[in-house]
Chains A and B, each alone.
Chain A
């Protein structure tokens, strides 16, 4: 109802011409979508190319400590005479890998959870959703802190923590999708033919219910990268000397006065990474139809 009104109101809502294009087409028609997608591609390529950096991330072979950027060391060097370009690239690699793995794991588990709740209905649904409510009552970073208390610090455990707080968000969305799809005729027909519920969900419902969930991945990635960086900034991530974007920024703090590049390059890369995913998520959200609101 609101959507119809918005479209009818001049100067508001989306252009009608964009309606027929596929979702990726609409995302890329949006300049934010193009910039975001290009940024993500460039960053992933840089992360993959990290081993090609002229110096290793652990080699203490620079001619001096805290050297300003030069051709030899484009991002400068740190207090232990290590090349910051290599350390930033490897840090990016680690941050990206952990976030991608965690979001995919959390999304898979959450979707399964939500599908079961939505398909089972009634009491199972009510019980599972109360559990999800309580789960969501823990703010993201606090959930992660609680999990790191149990598992101890380390990047693998940061990944587990990130996966865990992605579960309830995807569970909610999957359940909402399931509640809609479950009443559709094709589902009733499949059930009437005697198909097992697991088969109905996997073969019939999932292909129709998944696309909206996939579009949430970009936003989930933003959250995951952010929290992973915050945790390693707090010193709860990987152990030294392994670099991550968060720990590089944390280490740079004591040298803010005399080595601006130490904070600036890892910080700039992290910002570029987050902005790319944010722009992509915004464009996706708008392409899906306004009013959905981000969570």
Chain B
């Protein structure tokens, strides 16, 4: 098992390195000279050189990369060209609302998706299954921003139950925070739960064809116990992997949802930085998001290996 974990960790290193090279080149691939673009038309040569130095654009590319990587390793992600604040600080501020959003949306998605998928998978082609399929098809087919707009329309405008925008921290005022979180979290959870439900359905219906299920049924266990205790347990192993892959969907979804509900967070930080050509912020933000995604998937692979040691034998 330790060998498996080590092997997975070692596999993740080149992925992270290649990803870091890609993020590094985002700034270098900008057509023209980003430094003179940032300095504006009437800037002096000294000013342009200064900005170029700040952006780490001096010297051979390989040297720049090593220098940048060394800075990143110490937690220094540079400074924003728009407001002069440290990128690390900006990301720290933006990460909190996004993490709160994810921490509510993700369990909500699991709580909807897994029971729905298990119920559908336990009785394929039943009414339950049809209803679940209709839900997942709709939830996968309708983009998040549209779900969000429909919710805004119903709950914020027609019924006036929930605030249409803004953010309150969970630590400051839990009730207000929950009201502000309800629609964004529900929007994300709908999309995520549909994919989870689909995978759970397939996994459960496949698990139910296995020999140990026949044994469980033969010894007279009620169907509910067969599904819940025997089939679902095994079926959840691949679902863990899918759930981790969905962190990518969650991050992408957060970008859109934060925009619709004018909620601060990583997504708004990134979109604002892209439109404002704030390259250091884009770079730092991308790096943090991609690293999060890779590490969550690494953790999920290790968890899946522990839950089902057969997967390690491959």
Task: Name A residues whose Cβ lies closer than 8 Å to a Cβ of B.
Answer: 2, 5-6, 9, 11-12, 32, 130-131, 133-135, 137-142, 145-146, 148-151, 153, 222, 226, 229-230, 233-236, 246, 249-250, 252-253, 256-257, 260, 263, 267, 270-271, 274-275, 278-279, 282, 290-291, 293-294
Q: Is A278 within 8 A of B146, CB to CB?
A: no
Residues of A within 8 A of B225 (CB): none
B289, CB-defined interface residue at 8 Å: yes
Residues of B within 8 A of A253 (CB): 149, 152, 260
CB nearest to A253 among chain B residues: B149
Alpha-carbon distance between A133 and B275 when the two chains are bound, in angstroms: 28
Stretch at the interface among B46-54, B93-101, B109-117, B245-253: B245-253
Which residue of the partner chain, among B142, B150, B153, B290, contacts A137 with CB atoms under 8 Å? B290
Whether A137 touches B15, Cβ cut-off 8 Å, given contacts A5-B209, A256-B157, A293-B202, is: yes
Which residue of the partner chain, among B143, B255, B293, contacts A226 with CB atoms under 8 Å? B143
Q: Is A234 within 8 A of B19, CB to CB?
A: no
Q: Is B153 within 8 A of A145, CB to CB?
A: no
Q: Is A137 within 8 A of B293, CB to CB?
A: yes
Whether A290 touches B202, Cβ cut-off 8 Å, given contacts A226-B143, A230-B256, A271-B141, is: yes
CB nearest to A134 among chain B residues: B18
Residues of B within 8 A of A12 (CB): 124, 205, 209
B176, CB-defined interface residue at 8 Å: no
Q: Is A235 within 8 A of B137, CB to CB?
A: no
Alpha-carbon distance between A137 and B287 when the two chains are bound, in angstroms: 11
CB nearest to B242 among chain A residues: A293
Residues of B within 8 A of A142 (CB): 248, 251-252, 255, 270, 286, 289-290
Q: Is A139 within 8 A of B252, CB to CB?
A: yes
With most chain A CB atoms within 10 A of its CB, the pick from B14, B26, B252, B293 is B252
Which residue of the partner chain, among A5, A135, A153, A290, contacts B275 with CB atoms under 8 Å? A153
The B interface is mostly helix, strand or loop, or mixed, namely helix
Q: Is A137 within 8 A of B19, CB to CB?
A: yes
Whether A139 touches B206, Cβ cut-off 8 Å, given contacts A153-B275, A257-B157, is: no
Alpha-carbon distance between A11 and B199 when the two chains are bound, in angstroms: 19
Whether A130 touches B14, Cβ cut-off 8 Å, given contacts A139-B249, A274-B142, is: yes
Residues of B within 8 A of A271 (CB): 141-142, 146
Q: Is B15 within 8 A of A234, CB to CB?
A: no
Nearest-neighbour CB distance to chain A for B301, whole angstroms, equals 12
Q: Is A9 within 8 A of B137, CB to CB?
A: no
Residues of A within 8 A of B205 (CB): 12
Nearest-neighbour CB distance to chain A for B186, whole angstroms, equals 18
Residues of A within 8 A of B18 (CB): 130-131, 133-134
Q: Is A235 within 8 A of B275, CB to CB?
A: yes
Whether A137 touches B255, Cβ cut-off 8 Å, given contacts A130-B14, A249-B145, is: no
Nearest-neighbour CB distance to chain A for B197, whole angstroms, equals 13
Residues of A within 8 A of B23 (CB): 146
Nearest-neighbour CB distance to chain B for A140, whole angstroms, equals 6
Residues of B within 8 A of A146 (CB): 22-23, 26, 282, 286
25 of the cross-chain contacts (CB-CB < 8 Å) are: A5-B209, A11-B124, A131-B18, A134-B19, A137-B294, A137-B297, A138-B293, A139-B251, A142-B290, A149-B26, A149-B30, A150-B29, A230-B144, A230-B256, A233-B256, A234-B256, A246-B145, A263-B149, A267-B149, A267-B150, A270-B143, A271-B141, A271-B142, A279-B137, A294-B198
Contact pattern, B 225-236, Cβ under 8 Å of A = 1, otherwise 0? 000000000000
Residues of B within 8 A of A130 (CB): 14-15, 18
Q: Is B149 within 8 A of A275, CB to CB?
A: no
B307, CB-defined interface residue at 8 Å: no
Residues of A within 8 A of B289 (CB): 139, 142
Chain B contacts with A in 242-294, Cβ cutoff 8 A: 248-249, 251-252, 255-256, 259-260, 270-271, 274-275, 279, 282, 286, 289-290, 293-294
Alpha-carbon distance between A175 and B140 when the two chains are bound, in angstroms: 27
Q: Is B141 within 8 A of A278, CB to CB?
A: yes
B67, CB-defined interface residue at 8 Å: no
Q: Is A234 within 8 A of B14, CB to CB?
A: no
Identify the 5 closest CB pairs spanning chains A and B, nearest first. A139-B248, A134-B18, A141-B252, A275-B141, A278-B141
Q: Is A274 within 8 A of B249, CB to CB?
A: no
Which residue of the partner chain, among A151, A233, A267, A278, contacts B137 with CB atoms under 8 Å? A278
Which residue of the partner chain, among B14, B26, B138, B275, contacts A236 with CB atoms under 8 Å? B275
Residues of B within 8 A of A257 (CB): 157
B224, CB-defined interface residue at 8 Å: no
Q: Is A9 within 8 A of B146, CB to CB?
A: no
Alpha-carbon distance between A1 and B124 when the two chains are bound, in angstroms: 20
With most chain B CB atoms within 10 A of its CB, the pick from A130, A145, A271, A278 is A145
Alpha-carbon distance between A60 and B269 when the two chains are bound, in angstroms: 35
Alpha-carbon distance between A139 and B297 when the two chains are bound, in angstroms: 12
Residues of B within 8 A of A236 (CB): 271, 274-275
Q: Is B19 within 8 A of A138, CB to CB?
A: yes
